[in-house]
Amino acid sequence: MRNTLAATAASIVAFITSSTAMAGKDLDAIKARGALNCGVGIGTAGFMLADSQGKWRGLSVDVCRAVAAAIFGDAEKVKYAPLTSQQRFTAVQSGEVDIVMGNATWTLTRDTALGLDFTGVYYYDGQSFLVPKTLGVKSARELGGATVCVAPGTTTELNLADYFRANKMTFKPVVIEKVDEIRAAFFAGRCDVYTTDASSLAATRAANVPPPRTFDDFVILPEIISKEPLGPVVRHGDSQFADIVRWALYAMVEAEEHGITSKNVDEMLKSDNPAIKRILGVTPGMGKALGIDERWVYNIVKQVGNYGESFDRNVGKDSPLKIDRGLNRLWSQGGLQYSPPFR
Amino acid sequence: MAVEALGSAPRTKVAPWNDPTVRGWVFQVVVVGLVGLLAWYLVDNTITNLERQKIASGFHYLGREAGFEIGDTMVEYSPASTYARAIYVGMLNTLKVSVLGIIMATFLGTLLGIGRLSNNWLLSKICEWYVEAFRNVPLLLWLFLFYKLISEAFPGPRQAISAFWGTVFLSNRGVYFPVPLADAVFKWMGVALLVAIAGAWALHRWARRRQDATGQPFPSIIAGTGLIVGLPVLVWLLGGAPHHMSWPALKGFNFDGGSVIQPEFTALLFGLVLYTSAFVAEIVRSGILALHKGQTEAAAALGLTRGQSMRLVLLPQALRVIVPPMTSQYLNITKNSSLAIAIGYPDLVASINVTINQTGQAIENVLIIMAAYLSVSLSISAFMNWYNKRIALRER
């Protein structure tokens, strides 16, 4: 799209003209600006979507809000920039945004050669396939010869080609950048299959099926063909800011593990449990180590909620998506969400 | 005399800062120096910033495996091919849609332009409305409309509309039609076609010269067409007339066999052709209107038919007005074909965009894409300038 090239060009201009060193300055710049610039995807229900009032909501958005709560003590001090999957990395490389929560998969090359850092995993995802029930397909292995709708420039596109090659099947891709357009092409029947991360498929199925067809006319195939750990992305170079982003997410997980919720956090301040006292800053030290206010976890949990609350509210049982927690349960409940100790 | 006095007066010494020649040189050196400094500053800054951010640079990535599939390719391509190959495939797709677009837009636009000048009220109004409708709505919207029309209006492959006794299938996956199976004879038919084209051209030249010398006309157009059609057919017959076809048939999800024109390509080509032909029509109309009315009357007085006077008298002169602005339209088609990405046609921009995202080498890829469009555009310009010179008024 013209926009993509324009954005890429703008980022290149930013590379060419910016003369000051960025290392170590990101956090200062954010504090001076008084707001966190957060790049989000164009719109995936449950993860990042502007509601009818234009307020961004979702699990990914909550991580940005948690970082803002940690730095400013106010989860609302975030400016959102919707980015396509192709714009997001250049936007963070060039400093247009401080952090990208665009459901980007953490991979080795992205973490290294692109000059970026992934600071953790806020959602353990995997790629799957969405098909109309009328197609009568029960397994991804029956998809040989299918036409597949996929977004360009994603790990999804690569996994798709790998999966079909590995299973000696052929396919025809239909590749459109705008997620709305690719969904429209799928629902119009231009493709047999739509593939992306299972979470987004669930969102598409819950929120985007055009009437008269409904949620029940589509199925997500059981195969998960890839590991897609989705993480927050920051620029390489300012480890202090990267640490804050990393631990803001861990704080949400740690709060859930200790049963601290947005409802009981005020009572928890009076808790005698030494771990909770450290987490909430009643026993000081953690905030100082990160260079932010000691009450940072209190602010995150009070304003955003713990990880479980955010999950249930946005994508889980209290949302239209009704995604099972699955791998995203706490480690103590058989999942992968695990925070290093707060001490 | 004053003039003599001026001329013979001894040159008075002028201070260098008052001497126009010296001043001119100094200014030019300073300007060139500043531009050079700026360029050096920008390049150096970019390299330093990339190094500081630990972003790898260079063109080594072109040889790595691309790993993504492309839906519409003119040459052999698979996910195991290299990034260079993927970019090449995209480039060919851009050229395909641009060349076809240029030919079709010229043809349609010329008809519309002449049609708008017609004495037939209905025809000229239809052409006028067409022009106004198409050139006043952005091309991107036309592309979305055509793509939506194709993908929403046509049925799925299992309910495909069949035409021509079940040999051609229309569905939202595109138009499937039968093609001959590959055979060695086809290569020789291609050679025969080239030979026939060269022969027809030579015949045309000979006929023109003979007519100039003796006044005797020769039906070189009919003879040439016969040659171009006949020679390949003759080779085909001599080669044993291979007629095994690959027929499209429904297999699994899609049609298998035959060949296909995909909806993305169709939508893009239609959009480009219908949009640009509106501009071409106006250029052709202005070219013809620029001619004096006396030219038509003189041609009629010589006894030329309407067709002959259009072909031999009016169009050659109108071309002098038409060609320069037409060059811009051809360049527009080529560049506008990059809107392909909005509807998913895998053109050069699409290949490059995916490559940028997979490799992160934005600067290198943008350089490639700029070089590619620049060389295509400059080639078109060079050809059109050559043609323009050829048909320009020769002053004797």
Interface confidence, given as ipTM, is 0.72
- What letter represents residue B133's amino acid? A
DSSP strands (E only) in chain A: 36-40, 49-50, 56-57, 78-82, 99-101, 116-118, 123-125, 127-132, 146-150, 171-175, 193-197, 218-220, 228-230, 233-235
Residues in A touching B56 (Cβ below 8 Å)? 113
A26 and A67 fall within a common domain: yes
Chain A within 8 Å of B95 (Cβ-Cβ)? no
B47 and B150 fall within a common domain: no
Distance CA B233, CA B229 (A): 7
pLDDT per position as a tens digit, B141-155: 999 999 998 888 888
Mean pLDDT calculated for residue range B23-41: 92
Chain A within 8 Å of B251 (Cβ-Cβ)? yes
Residues in A touching B79 (Cβ below 8 Å)? 161-162, 165
B279 and B368 fall within a common domain: yes
Residues in A touching B353 (Cβ below 8 Å)? 4-5, 86, 152-153, 177
Q: Which residues make beta-bridge pairs with A195?
A: A129
B45 and B102 fall within a common domain: no
B148 and B270 fall within a common domain: yes
Residues in B touching A179 (Cβ below 8 Å)? none
pLDDT per position as a tens digit, B261-313: 889 999 999 999 999 999 999 999 999 888 888 888 898 899 988 788 888 88
Residue A329 counted as domain residue: no
Q: What is the pLDDT of residue A21?
A: 40
Does pLDDT of B395 surpass 70?
A: no
CB contact residues (below 8 A), chain B span 285-304, against chain A: none
Name the residue facing B79 among A161, A178, A188 (closest C-beta): A161
Q: What is the pLDDT of residue A23?
A: 43
Residue A79 CB neighbours (<10 A):
15
Residue A328 counted as domain residue: no
Residue B338 counted as domain residue: yes
Alpha carbon of A143: minimum distance to chain B alpha carbons (Å): 8
- The 10 Å CB-count burial string (b at 16+, else e) for A93-112 is bbbbbbbbbbbbbbeeebee
The answer to whether B259 touches B177, Cβ cutoff 8 Å, is yes
A111 and A255 fall within a common domain: yes
B293 and B383 fall within a common domain: yes
Residues of chain A with pLDDT under 50: 1-2, 19-23
Residue A24 counted as domain residue: yes
Alpha carbon of B36: minimum distance to chain A alpha carbons (Å): 15
- Beta strands A193-197 and A146-150: pairing type? parallel
Residue A339 counted as domain residue: no
Kindly report which listed range (B104-108, B111-115, B169-173, B375-379) carries the lowest average pLDDT score.
B169-173
The answer to whether B355 touches B361, Cβ cutoff 8 Å, is yes
B145 and B266 fall within a common domain: yes
Instruction: Indicate the SS3 state at residue B363.
Output: helix
Residue A30 counted as domain residue: yes
Residue B160 counted as domain residue: no
A104 and A235 fall within a common domain: yes
Chain B within 8 Å of A23 (Cβ-Cβ)? yes
pLDDT per position as a tens digit, A93-134: 888 999 999 888 898 888 887 889 999 999 999 999 999 998
Residues in A touching B251 (Cβ below 8 Å)? 145
B149 and B270 fall within a common domain: yes
Q: What is the pLDDT of residue A14?
A: 58
* Burial group, residue B127, by CB count within 10 angstroms (0-12, 13-18, 19+): buried
A37 and A7 fall within a common domain: yes
Q: What is the pLDDT of residue A2?
A: 43
E strand or H helix that includes residue B225: helix B220-238
Residues in B touching A174 (Cβ below 8 Å)? 71, 264, 344
Q: How many contacts does A have with B, using Cβ atoms within 8 A?
A: 153
Residues in B touching A233 (Cβ below 8 Å)? none
Name the residue facing A93 among B45, B53, B338 (closest C-beta): B53
Q: What is the pLDDT of residue B396?
A: 62
B312 and B378 fall within a common domain: yes
Which of A169, A200, A226 is at the close of a domain?
A: A226
Tokens representing A247? 């631990």
B25 and B88 fall within a common domain: no
Token pair 């058989």: residue: A334
- Beta strands B249-251 and A78-82: pairing type? unpaired
Residue B372 counted as domain residue: yes
DSSP strands (E only) in A122-246: 123-125, 127-132, 146-150, 171-175, 193-197, 218-220, 228-230, 233-235
Question: Is B263 in Cβ contact with A173 (below 8 Å)?
Answer: no
Question: Total domain count for chain B?
Answer: 2
Question: Is A162 in Cβ contact with B79 (below 8 Å)?
Answer: yes
Range of the domain at A242: 2-124+230-323
Question: Is A115 in Cβ contact with B54 (below 8 Å)?
Answer: yes
Token pair 């861990």: residue: A250
Range of the domain at B330: 83-154+259-391
Chain A within 8 Å of B257 (Cβ-Cβ)? no
A267 and A119 fall within a common domain: yes
Residue B368 counted as domain residue: yes
Question: Is B152 in Cβ contact with A172 (below 8 Å)?
Answer: no
- Beta strands A233-235 and A218-220: pairing type? unpaired
Q: What is the pLDDT of residue A208?
A: 85
Angle at B273 between CA B271 and CA B278, to 5 degrees: 100
**What percentage of chain B exceeds 90 in pLDDT?**
38
- Torsion angle of the four alpha carbons A122, A124, A127, A131, in this order, in degrees rounded to the nearest 10: -90
Tokens representing A61? 């958005």
Which tops the pLDDT comparison, A19 or B51? B51
Q: What is the pLDDT of residue A292?
A: 92
Q: Which residues make beta-bridge pairs with A148?
A: A173, A193
CATH number for the domain that contains residue B114: 1.10.3720.10
Question: Is B353 in Cβ contact with A152 (below 8 Å)?
Answer: yes
Instruction: Indicate the SS3 state at residue B97.
Output: helix
Residue A144 counted as domain residue: yes
A105 and A235 fall within a common domain: yes
Residue B122 counted as domain residue: yes
The confidence band for B157, taking pLDDT boundaries of 50, 70 and 90, is: confident
Chain A within 8 Å of B384 (Cβ-Cβ)? no
Chain A within 8 Å of B223 (Cβ-Cβ)? no
Residues in A touching B52 (Cβ below 8 Å)? 21-23, 237
- What letter represents residue B112's amino acid? L
B147 and B20 fall within a common domain: no
Name the residue facing B346 among A21, A110, A175 (closest C-beta): A175
Query: Which of B235, B231, B227 lies closest to B204 in space, CA to CA?
Result: B227
Chain A within 8 Å of B58 (Cβ-Cβ)? no
Chain B within 8 Å of A234 (Cβ-Cβ)? no
Q: What is the pLDDT of residue A41?
A: 87
Chain A within 8 Å of B263 (Cβ-Cβ)? yes
Tokens representing A285? 């030290």
Residues in B touching A177 (Cβ below 8 Å)? 341-342, 353
pLDDT per position as a tens digit, B332-345: 999 999 999 889 89
Which of A170, A194, A226 is at the close of a domain?
A: A226
- Torsion angle of the four alpha carbons A64, A65, A69, A70, in this order, in degrees rounded to the nearest 10: -20
Query: Which of A341, A265, A342 lies closest to A306 in space, CA to CA?
Result: A265
CATH number for the domain that contains residue A142: 3.40.190.10
Question: Total domain count for chain A?
Answer: 2
B376 and B297 fall within a common domain: yes
Pick the residue of A16, A83, A133 with the most B CBs within 10 A to test the interface with B by mutation.
A16
A61 and A117 fall within a common domain: yes
Distance CA A67, CA A245 (A): 6
Taking CA atoms, what residue in A is nearest to B43?
Answer: A16
Residue B303 counted as domain residue: yes
B266 and B142 fall within a common domain: yes
Which tops the pLDDT comparison, A6 or B256? B256
Name the residue facing A176 among B148, B155, B343 (closest C-beta): B343
Distance CA A122, CA A246 (A): 10
Does pLDDT of B173 surpass 70?
A: yes
